[in-house]
Structure 1
Amino acid sequence: MVVLAIGAGVFSLLQSLIAPVLPTIQQELHTSQNTATWVLTAYLLSASIFTPVLGRVGDMVGKRRTLVAVLTALAVGLLLAALAPTIELLILARAVQGAGGAVFPLAYGIIRDEFPRARVAGAISTLSAIIAAGGGLGVILAGPIVSTLGMRWLFWLPMVTVLVTALAAHRFVPESPVRTPGRINWAATLLLSGWLVALLLGVSQGTSWGWGSPAVLTLFAVAVVLLGLWVRLEMRSANPLIDMRMMRLPAVWTTNAVAFLFGAAMFAAWAFIPQLAQTPPSQGYGFGASVSQAGLLMLPMLVAMFIVGILSGRMAPFFSFRAQLAAGSVLSAVACAVLAVAHDRAWEVAVGGGLLGLGIGLAYATMTNLVVEAVPVTQTSVASGMNANIRTIGGSIGAGVMSSLVTAQLGIAGLPLEAGYTTGFATFAVISIVAAGAALLVPRVRKAELQPAAA
Structure 2
Amino acid sequence: MHSPTPTRKPGGIVVVLAFAGITASLMQTLVVPLLGDMPRLLGTSASNATWVVTATLLAGSVATTVLGRLGDLYGKRRMLLVCTVPLIAGSVVCALAGSLATMIIGRALQGIGMGIVPLGISALRDLLPPERLGSAIALISSSLGIGGALGLPLAAIVAERSSWRALFWGAAVLGCVIALLIWLRVPATPPRASGTFDFVGAGVLGSGLICLLLSVSKGADWGWTSGTTLGLGGAAVVVLLTWGWWELRTRHPLVDLRVTARPQVLVTNVASIALGLSMYAQALILPQLLQLPRSTGHGLGQTMLAMGLWMAPAGLVMMLLSPVGARLSDARGPKVTLVVGSLVLALGYGSSVVMLGSPWTVMIVSAVCSMGVGLAYGAMPALIMAGVPETDTAAANSFNTLMRSIGTSVSAAMVGVVLSQMTVERGGLAVPSEGAFRTGMLIGCALALVAAAVASVIPVRRTRRAPGYAVAPETSPATVA
Partner in structure 1 of residue 89 of structure 2: 76
1:117–1:452 CA contact under 8 A, matched in 2: no
SS of aligned partner of 1:318: helix
Percent of pairs with identical residues:
34
Deviation larger for 278-287 or 101-110? 101-110
* Unmatched 5+ stretches in structure 1: none
User: Is 1:431 matched with 2:439?
Assistant: no
Q: What is the Cα deviation at residue 248 of structure 1?
A: 0.5
User: Is 1:47 matched with 2:47?
Assistant: no
State the distance in 1 between where 2:59 and 2:197 align: 18
CA 20–438 in structure 1, closer or farther in 2 if over 3 Å, else same: farther
State the distance in 2 between where 1:114 and 1:368 align: 16
SS of aligned partner of 2:19: helix
SS of aligned partner of 1:241: coil
Partner in structure 1 of residue 327 of structure 2: 314
User: Is 1:441 matched with 2:457?
Assistant: yes
State the distance in 2 between where 1:31 and 1:66 align: 36
Q: What is the Cα deviation at residue 133 of structure 1?
A: 1.0
Partner in structure 2 of residue 106 of structure 1: 119
2:149–2:311 CA contact under 8 A, matched in 1: yes
State the distance in 1 between where 2:442 and 2:393 align: 36
Residues 52-451 of structure 1 mapped to structure 2, 5 A cutoff: 52-410=65-423, 411-412=425-426, 413-446=429-462, 448-450=464-466
Q: What is the Cα deviation at residue 341 of structure 1?
A: 4.4
Q: What is the Cα deviation at residue 193 of structure 1?
A: 0.5
- For normalisation by structure 1, the TM-score amounts to 0.96
CA 340–396 in structure 1, closer or farther in 2 if over 3 Å, else same: farther
Q: What is the Cα deviation at residue 447 of structure 1?
A: 7.2
Q: Counting helix residues as a fraction of each chain, which structure ranks higher?
A: 1
Q: What is the Cα deviation at residue 453 of structure 1?
A: 4.4
State the distance in 2 between where 1:141 and 1:71 align: 21
State the distance in 2 between where 1:388 and 1:85 align: 33
SS of aligned partner of 1:414: strand
**Matching residue's letter, 2:209:** L
- What are the superposed Cα offsets for residues 252-295 of structure 1, whole Å, 9 maximum, x if unpaired? 11111111111111112112210111011111101111011111
Q: What is the Cα deviation at residue 118 of structure 1?
A: 1.8
Residues 1-16 of structure 1 mapped to structure 2, 5 A cutoff: 1=13, 2-16=15-29
**Matching residue's letter, 1:329:** S
1:267–1:399 CA contact under 8 A, matched in 2: yes
Aligned pair count reads 454
State the distance in 2 between where 1:82 and 1:313 align: 39
1:266–1:395 CA contact under 8 A, matched in 2: yes
SS of aligned partner of 2:418: helix
2:73–2:193 CA contact under 8 A, matched in 1: yes
SS of aligned partner of 1:175: coil
- For normalisation by structure 2, the TM-score amounts to 0.91
- What are the superposed Cα offsets for residues 222-269 of structure 1, whole Å, 9 maximum, x if unpaired? 111111111111111111110001111111111111111111111121
* Unmatched 5+ stretches in structure 2: 1-12, 471-481
Q: CA RMSD in A?
A: 1.6
State the distance in 1 between where 2:238 and 2:76 align: 33
State the distance in 1 between where 2:360 and 2:222 align: 36
SS of aligned partner of 2:330: coil
1:300–1:357 CA contact under 8 A, matched in 2: no
CA 156–348 in structure 1, closer or farther in 2 if over 3 Å, else same: same
Q: What is the Cα deviation at residue 452 of structure 1?
A: 9.5
1:122–1:314 CA contact under 8 A, matched in 2: yes
CA 190–340 in structure 1, closer or farther in 2 if over 3 Å, else same: farther
State the distance in 2 between where 1:194 and 1:224 align: 11
- What are the superposed Cα offsets for residues 280-315 of structure 1, whole Å, 9 maximum, x if unpaired? 111110111101111122133222211112322223
CA 447–239 in structure 1, closer or farther in 2 if over 3 Å, else same: closer
